[in-house]
Amino acid sequence: MSNSALDRVRSEAFELTEAERAELAHDLVSSLDGPPDQDAAQEWDTEISRRLAEVDAGTASLIDRKEFSRRMRERMRR
């Protein structure tokens, strides 16, 4: 796509409503993803169940919200 075509598309996109721009942005980002992982949903369900079982059994290492926020801020600085 030439720069002029890209500029035109960009200009037209900015004329959309916020909701329309969000939908367009989602669609564009999604188009960059590879094929969906067919097993991902089942694997996440299994992982969530495993973690919940650890919490219920008292074997999970839990942290409070402040510690979680601190760790996330630290990771974002990297």
pLDDT in tens, 37-47: 889 999 999 99
The answer to whether the CB of 51 falls within 8 A of the CB of 60 is yes
pLDDT of residue 39: 93
Separation between Cα atoms, residue 17 and residue 29, nearest integer Å: 18
Q: Which residue has the higher pLDDT, 2 or 65?
A: 65
The ranges assigned to domains in the chain are 3-32, 40-77
pLDDT of residue 34: 85
CA nearest to 25, candidates 33, 34, 13, 8:
13
Separation between Cα atoms, residue 25 and residue 40, nearest integer Å: 23
The answer to whether the CB of 27 falls within 8 A of the CB of 34 is no
When pLDDT is cut at 50, 70 and 90, the band that residue 1 belongs to is low
pLDDT tens-place string over residues 20-75: 999 999 999 999 988 888 899 999 999 999 999 999 999 999 999 999 999 999 99
pTM of the model: 0.49
The answer to whether the CB of 24 falls within 8 A of the CB of 13 is yes
